[in-house]
Amino acid sequence: MAAAAAGPASSQRFFQSFPDALIDGDPQAALEELTKALEQNPDDAQYYCQRAYCHILLGKYCDGIADVKKSLELNPNNSTALLRKGICEYYEKDYASALETFAEGQKLDGTDTNFDIWIKRCQEIQNGSEPEVSASQRTQSKIKYDWYQTESHVIITLMIKNVQKNDVRVDFSEKELSAVVKIPSGEDCSLKLRLLHPIIPEQSTFKVLSTKIEIKMKKPEAVRWEKLEGQGDVPAPKQFTAGVKNTSRAWLDDSDGEGANDTGLILRTLPNKCKEHVSLLVSLHQELG
């Protein structure tokens, strides 16, 4: 009897130690710890779902699909796992499977607008049209980008390959983001966004990968962005909804998110039992309940 009780207790302790906000900070370290945790608890659906999130942040979408499939085998009713599976399939360019996955997730959680956003993206691609872009993309920049969000960050992915870090300049201010990239042809491409909500510039970063440039903007509080850009008066931002089934978000949209998340990977707060741990995170300043 004691052994049976140890599994859930261990899972709860793990989640308290590794919320999504901490995975955002160092996905590689979190991946290694999750792998160790799965060696101890190979049938824990949440471990697989969290490790899939690590894979997404690291751009290892095939590995993410494998983990999230295992998570869904163990817990088929996890809408966050379905969101992450769809995001992985989307970035693997399997748009038909992604659309099916997002639709399935939407049936489980019709309140998560991330599913609406990702479904629209898949449909636009399948219909042969480019996803809708903002005015700033059309008039100010040749850089194509995508975005999603988590509780703690808004993540923008610039679709530019094979550039060097010293050819990339990213400037953050409280309500603006600007990026200038010298592409291999020698041409300068630029992007300037007037953000919907403030960010913390000194805690925002970017990294240059072989396949993309990832920009992570730190949120001052865990609110959901309805869109990426905006100006003037905007409606009061929505808090992420607390709930056990929504303990980890995704993206994606997101979904990042997360807007993509609304877009982004979008996303979830921690369960009530984790409140004492939330206070340790600089990214979450409001009590969840």
Distance CA 265, CA 282 (A): 20
pTM of the model: 0.51
183-195 pLDDT tens trace: 877 778 888 899 9
Greatest mean pLDDT among 159-168, 191-200, 265-274 lies in: 191-200
Mean pLDDT in residue range 92-115: 91
Structural domains of the chain sorted by starting position, each given as residue range(s) with its CATH number in brackets:
2-278 (2.60.40.790)
Number of alpha helices (DSSP H) and beta strands (DSSP E) in the chain: 10, 9
Q: What is the pLDDT of residue 62?
A: 94
Q: What is the pLDDT of residue 142?
A: 60
266-282 pLDDT tens trace: 344 444 444 444 444 43
What are the tokens at 55?
């894979």
Q: What is the pLDDT of residue 231?
A: 66
Burial readout 244-269 (b: 16 or more C-beta within 10 A, e: otherwise)? eebbbbbbbbbbbbbbbbbbbbbbbb
Q: Mapped to the 3 state alphabet, what secondary structure does 181-242 carry?
A: EECCCCCEEEEEEEECCCCEEEEEEEEECCCCEEEEEECCCCEECCCCECCCCCCCCEECCC
Q: What is the pLDDT of residue 236?
A: 58
User: Which segment of 4-8, 186-190, 207-211, 235-239 scores lowest on mean pLDDT?
Assistant: 4-8
| Position 130 confidence tier, pLDDT thresholds 50, 70, 90 | low
**pLDDT over 50 at 12, yes or no:** no
Compute the mean pLDDT over every residue in the chain, rounded to the nearest whole number.
Answer: 76
